Amino acid sequence: MGIAEWRRKLQRGEVSARELTDRHLARIAAVDTTVHAFLEITAERARADADRIDTARQAGETLPPLAGIPLAIKDNLCTKGIRTTCSSRMLESFVPPYESTVTERLWSAGAVLLGKTNLDEFAMGSSTETSAFGPSRNPWNPERVPGGSSGGSAAAVAAGECLASLGSDTGGSIRQPASFCGVVGLKPTYGRVSRWGLVAFASSLDQVGPFCTSVADSAEILQVIAGADRRDSTCLTNPVPDYLATLEQPVRGLRVGIIRECFESEGLDPQVKSSVLAAAAQLEQLGCELVDISCPRFNDGIATYYVIAPSEASANLARYDGVKYGHRAEPAGAAENLAVMTARSRAQGFGDEVQRRILIGTFALSAGYVDAFYRKAQQVRTLIRRDFDRAFEQVDLLLTPTSPTTAFRFGAHAEDPLTMYLSDLLTIPANMAGLPAINVPCGFDDQGLPIGLQLIGGVLEEAKLLQLAHHYEQAAAVMAQRPPAELVA
């Protein structure tokens, strides 16, 4: 059942918030030794919050929309008094003294925190294999990765360990794991949701969004977390529409662009291609008009991203020096000088992938190379955005596969970072342009692994994006299938 169904049961007294919380904590205890979606389980706080909600309901108080709904939070969002590690040894002991805006809004809406979920270290990866605390596993097949970087958040929802979760998306880190784990994953327009309290990876690309088991639940979570925030200067001040109110509006007549370049990629799995094209045909049956669209620089997004994102990461991660906070390699005074202590702390605190990206970014920003690399990448980014602008002059929404393949085996790309990077080939361009995009499950391959459909909207067109995704979801009924219980039991 989704959030709305559980809310009705809670309101009618058919289940208490404490019972619902205990059910999910029991599920975590039963399956998370296999899935490893969670880094920290906040059972005591969850039960206390649930008890307060039950007391308020019994007293006849009017409760907020997510009262009693158990959620999980990616461990790169600051939670006051609860460890926030970014799955890194660098922040292994960091306990934030403040709450991120999005989690603050969830708690104000009555949501119950079950715990913090696993991720690739500092959100740099596509499989959770770079986590310093071990990878999460895909509930559909524990021998496969759940995707990344928000793999723990996606796996937790797919395994039934929470009703919804939050992740972050810098180049596909919500949509790609949502595709691999067979759940809905939404990346909002850049600035639609506050980034205050999100540990920064690439500040011009990062965005927070939900994982859910339905599009309607995604609309519910977005409704709560979206909106202006004076603490985030990049946060948009546009009014937040009623996303649930437009879900059922007809989609007949909507023009959906099929991005030609996405289906011409050499690495696109034939099963993924056929499943996504079948989903497009389903939209046509719902009354949408399919339009062939060219975005000539779409596939240039990945090369552009791997200059811009590491450059911003190099700047953002420079603060982790073992002085004010973060891992320190040795006791104060033991190193010959500050430079030696900082170098040793960073070498020990950061994993290989994070160090690789810091080095790439530092090089791209270095004297003599910044024009050739970083500035040139920003110019290509502008061209990618212009391709999207021209496309949206012809269509309402765009359609692509979410990932070129289904979930791969652990270690498949361990020795080949470039192949790993290509798993985000189809999701990165939306981040480059700051556009909203959603993954909706659209089928399965011959191994029983989920395949994801990506829909991309124009700036602040989340309502239209959710509307079309909801109609497809209802018609296709792919979400009726869940991971085999024995795989995560």
- Residue ranges in the chain whose pLDDT is less than 50: none
* Closest CA relative to residue 43, chosen from 28, 65, 30: 28
Q: In what order do the strands lie in the sheet with 70-74?
A: 38-41, 112-117, 70-74, 164-168, 208-212, 184-187, 437-444, 450-456, 397-401, 255-259, 289-293
Burial bucket for residue 234 (CB in 10 Å: 0-12, 13-18, 19+): middle
Which residue in the list 153, 173, 311, 314 is annotated as catalytic?
173
pLDDT of residue 480: 79
pLDDT of residue 416: 85
- Strands in 28-79 per DSSP E: 38-41, 70-74
Query: Are 123 and 153 a contacting pair, CB within 8 Å?
Result: no
Q: DSSP letter at 170?
A: S
Task: Establish whether the linkage from the previous residue to 153 is cis, with ω within 30° of 0.
Answer: no
* Closest CA relative to residue 257, chosen from 392, 385, 383: 392
* Residue 394 CB contacts under 8 Å (≥ 6 apart), including other chains: 255, 257, 291, 293
pLDDT of residue 101: 98
Q: What is the pLDDT of residues 223-256, one digit of tens each?
A: 999 999 999 999 999 999 999 999 999 999 999 9
Which residue in the list 74, 116, 187, 464 is annotated as catalytic?
74
Active site residue 173: yes
CA–CA distances in Å: residue 144 to residues 48, 50, 154, 282, 324? 36, 34, 13, 29, 38
* Residue 489 CB contacts under 8 Å (≥ 6 apart), including other chains: 30, 31, 34
Query: Are 45 and 139 a contacting pair, CB within 8 Å?
Result: no
Q: Which residues pair with 79 in a beta bridge?
A: 82
Which residue carries 């996405």 as its tokens? Answer: 262
Query: Are 122 and 88 a contacting pair, CB within 8 Å?
Result: yes
Active site residue 74: yes
As a dihedral over the C-alpha atoms of residue 469, residue 470, residue 474, residue 477, rounded to 10 degrees, the angle is 50
pTM given for the model = 0.96
| Gap between the Cα atoms of 50 and 60, Å rounded | 16
Tokens of 154: 């996606």
Please tell me whether residue 82 adopts helix, strand or coil conformation: strand
| Gap between the Cα atoms of 110 and 421, Å rounded | 38
| DSSP per-residue string spanning 111-158 | -EEEEEE--SGGG--SSSTT-TT----BTTBTTB---SSSHHHHHHHH
Q: DSSP letter at 85?
A: -
- Angle 270-285/462-476 helices, nearest 10 degrees? 100
Backbone angles phi, psi at 263, to 5 degrees: -95, 5
| Gap between the Cα atoms of 103 and 248, Å rounded | 28
pLDDT of residue 332: 56
pLDDT of residue 40: 98
Which residue in the list 149, 153, 179, 403 is annotated as catalytic?
149
| DSSP per-residue string spanning 336-404 | SSHHHHHHHHHHHHS-HHHHHHHHHHHHHHSTTTTIIIIIHHHHHHHHHHHHHHHHHTT-SEEEEESSS
* Residue 145 CB contacts under 8 Å (≥ 6 apart), including other chains: 126, 127, 128, 129, 135, 137, 138, 151, 180, 407, 408, 409, 410
Q: Which residues pair with 346 in a beta bridge?
A: none
Domain 3-255+438-488: which CATH class? alpha beta
Backbone angles phi, psi at 202, to 5 degrees: -130, 105
Active site residue 127: no
* Closest CA relative to residue 364, chosen from 419, 309, 433: 309
Q: Is the C-alpha dihedral spanning 207, 212, 218, 223 positive or negative?
A: negative
User: Which residue type, as a one-letter code, is found at position 72?
Assistant: A
Q: Would residue 443 be called left, alpha or beta, if left means φ above 0 and alpha means ψ between -120 and 50 degrees?
A: left
pLDDT of residue 486: 61
Q: What is the pLDDT of residues 12-38, one digit of tens each?
A: 999 999 999 999 999 999 999 999 999
pLDDT of residue 335: 72
Query: Are 474 and 454 a contacting pair, CB within 8 Å?
Result: no
| Gap between the Cα atoms of 111 and 53, Å rounded | 10
Residue spans per domain, the chain: 3-255+438-488
